């Protein structure tokens, strides 16, 4: 064949994380701080429901938008945590992870050439998904002096007549930043005045260490313009089950469901049965995992303080994002060197956007024992660099 493949796809850069992965996978005895998924097993009662559903032969497609009982539980969950009411029949869709919801949400909203505002550093798939939807990504470079929160000034400056969607990725991967109620209030009016849609990716909502997470959809005038994305991966340690969901006004869900129906059909049935159990009886699991993450978060911050490594205090997700600018290395060079010399794998901040340059994403989805060993190695590495 000589005919060229899709130019649009060819021009999308592969994830910077992938590149680093290839490097790591060739090495032995590496201590990793590089994962974006919980270290806990899915709680047994949730797994058991999945197994039980298989035993009962529940192995068929579900309806396109997901099991009715699951959609009802999702709606109940959002009501009890955010006090927002959604119609389980018309305003929810169960997706293959939060990732699918991002993809089909953007595709449902965008006409060619419209702009999507993406604050960075952030999860690697917003930009490519926007491009796949024929949107023009407009990047906001978040700053560490703002604790990587989205500020009204930055938002205003990036709005043009073509702006259609704002992606709001909080609690944030990779920085661990959160948006508190007053931060959300501060951008609310701008969003409404400019008639923007918001795609609020709240996959880390349960991992918030400074009061309860607040969804922007709970603010006045916001529900009708927000696609709220969440899922089971992070809160219930269910990454491999591939299950997420989106909540949005009926007319948006209707269009998203069309894409989902033709591309995916339905989310995995076994996972959906397990997820019902998670939402019904999983609150205690979530809070004990949150407690463990919070302890590790404090441990790492204390370690950085002792090492003299600059780091703002993150209040969400399971990442810390220390600054490594003092060493005069790019974050990729730093991460590579750290891997080669001390066999610690952490992800260069630049993998999450240009504004992540000079930072390192360190995940604390690891046991304390593992983190201690890694911090010992990091300390040795940092000392060595400073001596030079």
Partner 1 sequence: MREELLALLEKNSRMGLNEIAVLLGTNEESILKEIEILEKEGVICGYNTLIDWEKTSIEKVTALIEVRVTPQRGQGFDNIAERIYNYPEVKSVYLISGGFDLLVILEEKSLREISNFVSDKLAPLDTILSTATHFILKKYKDYGIILTKKHEDEREIITP
Rule CB under 8 A: is residue 138 a binding residue for partner 1? no
In the complex with partner 1, the residue whose CB is nearer, 191 or 347, is 347
Shortest Å, Cβ 15 to partner 1: 6
Cα–Cα distance, 245 to 275 (Å, whole number): 11
Binding to partner 1, residues 84-123 (CB under 8 A): 123
From 18-26, 111-119, 159-167, 259-267, span contacting partner 1 (CB under 8 A): 18-26
In the complex with partner 1, the residue whose CB is nearer, 142 or 365, is 365
Rule CB under 8 A: is residue 37 a binding residue for partner 1? yes
Binding to partner 1, residues 294-313 (CB under 8 A): 295-296, 298-299, 302
Site map (CB under 8 A) of partner 1, residues 347-376, x = contact: x--------------------x--------
From 33-41, 73-81, 111-119, 194-202, span contacting partner 1 (CB under 8 A): 33-41
The DSSP symbol for 349 reads G
- Residue 43: C-alpha distances to residues 75, 97, 235, 369 (Å): 22, 18, 11, 21
Residue 33 sits at the vertex; the CA angle it makes with 32 and 34, to the nearest 5 degrees, is 90
Number of residues that bind partner 1 (CB under 8 A): 26
In the complex with partner 1, the residue whose CB is nearer, 207 or 222, is 207
Residues with Cβ within 8 Å of residue 89, at least 6 apart in sequence: 68, 71
Strand partners of residue 229: 201, 246
Residues with Cβ within 8 Å of residue 36, at least 6 apart in sequence: 173, 363, 365
Rule CB under 8 A: is residue 32 a binding residue for partner 1? yes
- Residue 272: C-alpha distances to residues 80, 93, 214, 357 (Å): 20, 12, 25, 39
Residues with Cβ within 8 Å of residue 28, at least 6 apart in sequence: none
In the complex with partner 1, the residue whose CB is nearer, 233 or 257, is 233
Residue ranges in contact with partner 1 by CB under 8 A: 15, 17, 20-21, 24-25, 30, 32, 34-37, 39, 123-125, 173, 291, 295-296, 298-299, 302, 345, 347, 368
């Amino acid at each position: 064949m000589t005919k060229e493949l899709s130019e649009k796809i060819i021009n999308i850069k592969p994830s910077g994380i992938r590149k680093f992965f290839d490097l790591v996978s060739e090495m032995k005895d590496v201590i990793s701080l590089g994962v974006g998924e919980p270290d806990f097993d899915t709680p047994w009662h949730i797994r058991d429901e999945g197994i039980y559903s298989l035993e009962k032969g529940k192995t068929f497609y579900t309806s396109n938008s997901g099991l009715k009982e699951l959609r009802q539980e999702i709606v109940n969950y959002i009501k009890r945590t955010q006090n927002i009411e959604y119609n389980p029949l018309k305003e929810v869709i169960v997706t293959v992870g939060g990732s699918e919801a991002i993809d089909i949400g953007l595709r449902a909203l965008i006409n060619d050439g419209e702009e999507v505002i993406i604050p960075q550093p952030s999860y690697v798939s917003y930009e490519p998904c926007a491009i796949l939807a024929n949107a023009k990504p407009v990047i906001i470079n978040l700053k560490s002096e703002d604790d990587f929160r989205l500020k009204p000034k930055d938002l205003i400056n990036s709005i043009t007549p073509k702006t259609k969607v704002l992606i709001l990725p909080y609690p944030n991967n990779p920085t661990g930043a959160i948006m508190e109620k007053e931060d959300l209030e501060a951008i609310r009016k701008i969003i409404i005045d400019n008639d923007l849609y918001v795609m609020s990716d709240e996959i880390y909502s349960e991992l918030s260490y400074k009061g309860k997470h607040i969804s922007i959809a709970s603010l006045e005038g916001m529900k009708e313009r927000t696609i709220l994305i969440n899922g089971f991966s992070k809160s219930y340690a269910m990454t491999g089950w591939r299950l997420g969901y989106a909540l949005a006004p009926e007319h948006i869900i209707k269009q998203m469901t069309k894409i989902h129906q033709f591309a995916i059909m339905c989310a995995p049935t076994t996972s959906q049965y397990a997820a019902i159990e998670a939402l019904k009886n999983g609150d205690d699991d979530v809070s004990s995992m949150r407690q463990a993450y919070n302890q590790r978060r404090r441990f790492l911050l204390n370690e950085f303080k002792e090492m003299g490594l600059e780091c703002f205090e993150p209040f969400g997700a399971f990442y810390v994002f220390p600054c490594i600018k003092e060493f005069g290395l790019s974050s990729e060079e730093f991460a590579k060197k750290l891997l080669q010399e001390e066999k610690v794998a952490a992800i260069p901040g630049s993998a999450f956007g240009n504004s992540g340059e000079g930072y390192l994403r360190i995940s604390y989805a690891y046991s304390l024992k593992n983190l201690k060993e890694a911090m010992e190695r990091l300390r040795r590495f940092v000392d060595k660099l400073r001596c030079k």
